[in-house]
Amino acid sequence: MDLIPKRDQLVTAANNVAHSLLYGGLADLRPMPRALIDEGELREVYHYRPAPGMVESGDPVLLVTPLAAPSLCFDLRRGCSLVEHFVSLGRRTYLVEYGQVSFRNRSLGMEHWVDEVLPAAITAASEHSGGRPVHLVGWSLGGIFAMLTAADRPDLPLASLTVVGSPVDTSKVPLVAPVRPLLNLTEGGGVVAGAYRALGGAPQPIVKWAFQLASVQKIVTKPLAVLTHLDDTDFLAQLEAVDRFMANMIAYPGRSFGQVYHRMVRNNALSHGSMDFGDRVISLADIAVPVLAFGGATDGIAPIAAVRPFIDMVTGAPETRFEIVPGGHLGMLTGRAARDTTWRVMDEWIEQWSSPEPRKPVAGNAPVKKPAAKKPPAKKSAAKKAAVKKAAVKKPAKKTATRKKASAKKPAGPEAIGANPQRRHGSGGSRALAR
């Protein structure tokens, strides 16, 4: 809104306020329709139903939810939902989430997700889509799980790996770097370790508080932002959707939280490109599929410097790409700007590394028989026979001309994003951020 609002701005603002008070909000929070196709301990795999009148095609996409965050991150609201975007394009879209974590799940470690949850989800998505390879897309800790699974299980049917805001070097995270020396002063992590062991994990309120801490400036300035955007319906709807997302945070299982805390926060284990998992070491250099990684320009939880090193670690990948996109930790995935940045790059990447759609066989595999030609009358004049011969000669020439016209190539247009394999950033602004 202008400092001195115009009449149409006042009308729109009044309408937005009235709609929020009378109908409970402006955002369309209806979830995309889906069906459960596989489940296990803290594992639920869903297939999103295709849009009405649309037939699914291509390789499936499996969205990997991080621990503690709800799957709403991929389906925030209508008009700003990555799930809705994929479904509208006719992509086979799947999601794995984990349900509610309770005290009885306290003994589950990261191995549960890397050894069981993700391999089972990838297999289920591939089988459900007719045995096609899967494009794995993970956000935040979901991206960490995805990269570890891809490195540990090269036998899985994977087409590509995409990670969004997944930090591998936590020494570059502003919230962690200043307190790391304090965390290492006491054996076993001191007070923090004792607290999560006693509670069986990190409770939902603490997880929510930690997420909000990274965007405290936005929380402080939120009332002013709402006041100055009362006439912006889309802006207000996005705030409502993010508030719902924050209200649905999930607890961490105790052992998993302990591993994330000790290995990734205190010891920065992944910064070396590998992590110990019991009797083995998982090395990110063993990832053998194409890798796409995103860093958010204003991400306080996983800043660009914490995410970018991953690209240099995946030396076994046939191709890698790193993109800097607008937004914070959640905004880069499902913010309003993501519709024209992050999602567009994802679409190009998936198209580039998708296998061709198999041709559908004719029903019954039986050749189509042509109707038998009628025999001409016995007493046909010589003139008529000559006319028939003349027509038969001209017909093939007409077909040849048609083929040539159809095979003519269109002139190449301007270079699209992703066409140049040497290009590492999404825009001129991205390159400036990289310096």
Question: What's the token pair of residue 142?
Answer: 């979901």
Mean pLDDT of 288-308: 95
How buried is 342 (Cβ within 10 angstroms: 0-12 exposed, 13-18 middle, 19+ buried)?
buried
Mean pLDDT of 376-394: 44
Q: What does the pLDDT read at residue 186?
A: 46
pLDDT above 80: residue 334: yes
Confidence of residue 267 (pLDDT cuts 50, 70, 90): confident
Q: Can you give the pLDDT at residue 45?
A: 98
Q: What is the mean pLDDT of residues 305-332?
A: 96
Does 78 score more than 80 pLDDT? Answer: yes
Domain range summary for the chain, segments of one domain joined by +: 19-352
When comparing pLDDT for 300 and 383, which is higher? 300
Is the pLDDT at 154 greater than 90, yes or no? yes
Q: Which among 204-208, 246-250, 386-390 has the top mean pLDDT?
A: 246-250
pLDDT confidence of residue 337: 95
Nearest-angstrom CA–CA distance, 83 and 21:
29
Q: What is the pLDDT of residue 108?
A: 81
Q: Can you give the pLDDT at residue 299?
A: 92
3-state DSSP call for residue 26? coil
Inform me whether the pLDDT recorded for 174 exceeds 90.
no
The average pLDDT across 274-294 equals 94
Sort strands 43-48 and 34-40 into parallel, antiparallel or unpaired: antiparallel
Say if residue 297's pLDDT is above 90: yes
Residue 3 is predicted with a pLDDT of 66
Local confidence band at 248 (pLDDT 50, 70, 90 cut-offs): confident
pLDDT-derived band at 52 (thresholds 50, 70, 90) equals confident
pLDDT beyond 50 at 325 = yes
CATH architecture of the domain formed by 19-352: 3-Layer(aba) Sandwich (3.40)
- Of 209, 202, 85, residue with least CA distance to 137: 85
pLDDT exceeds 60 at position 232 = yes
Q: Quick one: which H or E segment has residue 61? A: strand 57-64
Q: Which residue has the higher pLDDT, 58 or 178?
A: 58
Strand 134-139 and strand 158-164: the pairing is parallel
Distances (CA, A) of 420 to 137, 415, 417: 22, 8, 7
Enter the pTM of the model.
Answer: 0.74
Q: Tell me what pLDDT residue 160 has.
A: 98
Q: Which two tokens stand for residue 220?
A: 């402080």
